[in-house]
Amino acid sequence: MWFPIQDLRIVGTASLMHSGVEQLVVQSHEMAADCGMATVSIFATTVGATVGRTVFASNLCDLSARIVRGSGGDSIELTGPYYGANAPACCPTKAHATAELRYANGKWVETPLYFKLN
């Protein structure tokens, strides 16, 4: 669902899943009366050359992504406020949290697990 205030930013492309094949990294934010929801999505092509979202991380209020190039492969640095299980939107458990999102052994892994993966 898109809200009255929204933005979208293409972060860039990175070889996250397979060497030599790049995926598109996009971040978006949508809000209305509250701070809204932020999402970082990874888009990839499938067997039929169809483009689709392969994974996304979401978070209340804010979430940004940065592509990290490394000798062990590319990864995504996710940054935003961390909300514990009972934390209200006004008061994050940790105001500035950073996690790494990486594709390993056929699945997406976030370390540490601060943001919701779908």
For the segment 67-111, what is each residue's pLDDT rounded down to a tens digit? 999 888 899 999 999 999 899 888 999 999 999 999 999 999 999
By the 8 A CB rule, do 29 and 41 touch? no
User: What sections of the chain are H helices per DSSP?
Assistant: none
CA 44, 28, 65, 118 torsion: positive or negative? negative
Percent of the chain whose predicted confidence (pLDDT) is above 70: 97
pLDDT of residue 2 exceeding 70, the answer is: no
Tell me the C-alpha distance between 36 and 38, whole Å: 7
User: For position 3, what pLDDT does the model report?
Assistant: 59
HEC per residue, 16-32: EEECCEEEEEEEEEEEC
Residue at 118: amino acid letter: N
Kindly report the average pLDDT of the chain as a whole number: 91
Tell me the C-alpha distance between 12 and 35, whole Å: 25
Least confident segment among 1-10, 37-46, 88-97: 1-10
Tell me the C-alpha distance between 5 and 58, whole Å: 17
Residue position matching structure tokens 């999102």? 101
Q: 3-state SS of the chain: helix, strand, coil percent to 5?
A: 0, 65, 35
pTM across the whole model: 0.90
